[in-house]
Structure 1
């Protein structure tokens, strides 16, 4: 499966909700004075830049495969000391000897076989290093099962066969915990369900446009994409009914996320 294209503005439309898991993840990384910190799948760079405030003496590097995201990051943070953004594929990234902290927020679900990849990092990272990973755990939620069912329908199956990788995109928390413990790391694994209150019409569709729907829209023509979205939106409106609160149309959207933080003993 090729990497999806990204719209930085669309991705950050729900910035507060998308950024909270990053801060919940990095709050558990207790590195005191790291030399180099790498954010794998850095996106438009705002969250990566926040790491330079936490560790001002560290070299902070964001890595992403999407040039659209990197262009946005470099434009916004041009000239920021000790902060760089690099084009690269997570699948081929390897830690150098001075990397003390690696974080990856909502990116590894796009990387097939990422448990094996993480296992390699656990071996390669130096003693005392930290690894923090967050992945969405909502692939069995209606938002994703309905997308998959529609993509597999008679109308769309011939166009979207093999595009969505929802059944094996992430593992369950226990697998991440066992991976770290078997590698001899100290580990902390947990899950959280965030109950997002999305405001406006077609709120869940607008959320998913920025992430999970990208592979579908990349394959379809603009006309086909609009038709698929219209059908998908009707399913979402039934699954996630909205209500009016204080004059605003509001939809409750539960979102499960899986967190994994570990430290390699010195």
Structure 2
């Protein structure tokens, strides 16, 4: 719980500038979010979407472009981040905001799509695995789960290669020294797991067709669907 409160306070502090910095902090920004959004298929014209660790609502906003009548539930621990999301979505009556810890969140209803963007890597591994199980429960039959996140390299050498590539690109991004220092400080909150383990946890949760659909160093998009087939 102490780590959760640290995450909450850190992201509340950066909420106002989080979106404008994100493109510079994610070297593969367009592909990363573009691929993730393209996987959010639904036969419903107004799908119900749950966004875990929604932050400022960036990922969710891409799905609203696909499904203007979508009904969204945005859950995040940081209330200031959700304030930015409220501004983003204006008076959209189809968006619900829940300020809470989503780790053990089991929804009162089921969803067509469950998404998460750059959030689950802050959880301990046992919580990640449990969250994948909860997400499976929270989905309707035929629903999809998409996690656009960061992962640990599967060897120390690979992990350091991921980190050095990211640091080099961030330091050439045009961000100020203070902004870069703050970004480095936030990485202390990371509790990343390797990709292979997480794909196993998704399969063990019950998901079918589990895959890593996109990968750029440690930025990945994981996918699974709930089906009786």
Q: Under a length normalisation based on structure 1, what TM-score does the superposition of the two structures give?
A: 0.61
| 1:22 paired to 2:33 | yes
- Which residue does 1:172 correspond to in 2? 194
How far the C-alpha of 1:136 sits from its partner, in A, is 1.0
How far the C-alpha of 1:192 sits from its partner, in A, is 1.7
- Which residue does 1:78 correspond to in 2? 90
| 1:101 paired to 2:113 | yes
- Which residue does 1:187 correspond to in 2? 210
1:146-157 correspondence to structure 2 within 5 Å: none
Shift in CA distance, 111/56, structure 1 to aligned 2, threshold 3 Å? same
Where 1:47 maps in the other structure, the secondary structure is: helix
Instruction: Give the conservation status (yes or no) of the 8 Å contact 2:114–2:135.
Output: no
For residues 138 and 11 of structure 1, the distance between their equivalents in structure 2, rounded to whole angstroms, comes to: 23
CA shift digits 1:231-254 (9 cap, x unpaired): xxxxxxxxxxxxxxxxxxxxxxxx
Shift in CA distance, 10/99, structure 1 to aligned 2, threshold 3 Å? same
- Which residue does 2:182 correspond to in 1? none
* Unmatched 5+ stretches in structure 2: 154-158, 165-186
| 1:141 paired to 2:160 | yes
CA shift digits 1:216-236 (9 cap, x unpaired): xxxxxxxxxxxxxxxxxxxxx
* Unmatched 5+ stretches in structure 1: 146-162, 194-254
Q: Which has the larger radius of gyration?
A: 1
Instruction: Give the conservation status (yes or no) of the 8 Å contact 2:16–2:84.
Output: no
How far the C-alpha of 1:190 sits from its partner, in A, is 4.2
How far the C-alpha of 1:84 sits from its partner, in A, is 2.8
Where 1:3 maps in the other structure, the secondary structure is: helix
Within the candidate set 113, 132, 136, 2:146 is matched to 132
For residues 198 and 218 of structure 2, the distance between their equivalents in structure 1, rounded to whole angstroms, comes to: 16
For residues 161 and 199 of structure 2, the distance between their equivalents in structure 1, rounded to whole angstroms, comes to: 27
Q: Under a length normalisation based on structure 2, what TM-score does the superposition of the two structures give?
A: 0.69
Runs of 4+ in 1 over 4 A off after TM superposition: 142-145
How far the C-alpha of 1:101 sits from its partner, in A, is 0.5
CA shift digits 1:41-85 (9 cap, x unpaired): 111123322322211232012211111111122133221241232
